[in-house]
Amino acid sequence: MSISLQKGQKVSLSKDNAGLSKVIIGLGWDEAKRSKGGFFAPKPQPIDCDASAILLQNGHLMAKEDVVYFGNLRHATGTVQHMGDNLTGAGDGDDEQIVVDLASIPAVYDKIVLVVNIYQAVERRQHFGMIQNAFIRLVDARNNKEMCKYNLTENYSGMTAMVFGEVYRYSGEWKFNAIGQGTNDPGIGQLANRYI
């Protein structure tokens, strides 16, 4: 049974899922309805949200190769893989997925931060106030069973990026923390710099 999480809530992934080795992290969002503007107004560009995973050692980003995103789809260890970029967020279900092999992640990595930023948000004048139904969910890859889901319900108007949550190692088990923190970072590079 899937657990519905609140902001700041932590849940153990390992405890209730014996033998858990691989998780699918699904992230989703929809574009909110926008006014058409005037007759001669340019057609608004679709909002392109990009999900990324930032692998940390002792809470810090040690190398740019530890950021898995649309420009680096697979971590060098093969344990974290981005399943591809969705340019519009159209359709139901997960918009982007990141697969994490928890059982094989080298012990030096203690945390994976899951973030989403709006591509060219500043240039396109877009922000998370134009996004609705945003969520992050964790699925057991063995049986496609959803373990937990966090729906981001706050108003993130003016925010161009978001820390959705983190998967972390604690006392030999893997846990998930629902964060839901908006930021004004214009891109993945600036988001990643928060963890250096």
pLDDT tens for the chain, 196 residues long, are 789 999 999 999 988 788 899 999 999 988 887 666 566 655 678 888 999 999 999 999 999 999 999 999 999 999 999 998 665 555 568 999 999 999 999 999 999 999 999 999 999 999 999 999 999 999 999 999 999 999 998 889 999 999 999 999 998 899 999 999 999 999 999 999 999 9
Q: Give the Cα separation of 2 and 135 in Å (integer).
A: 14
pLDDT for the residue numbered 141:
95
Query: Which residues in 14-130 belong to E strands, given as ranges?
Result: 22-31, 49-56, 67-68, 80-82, 96-101, 111-118
Q: Give the Cα separation of 33 and 5 in Å (integer).
A: 26
Query: Which residues in 46-183 belong to E strands, given as ranges?
Result: 49-56, 67-68, 80-82, 96-101, 111-118, 131-140, 145-152, 161-170, 173-183
pLDDT for the residue numbered 195:
97
Q: Tokens standing for 97? A: 């997925």
pLDDT for the residue numbered 15:
83
Q: Give the Cα separation of 107 and 89 in Å (integer).
A: 34
pTM of the predicted model, to two decimals?
Answer: 0.90
pLDDT for the residue numbered 93:
83
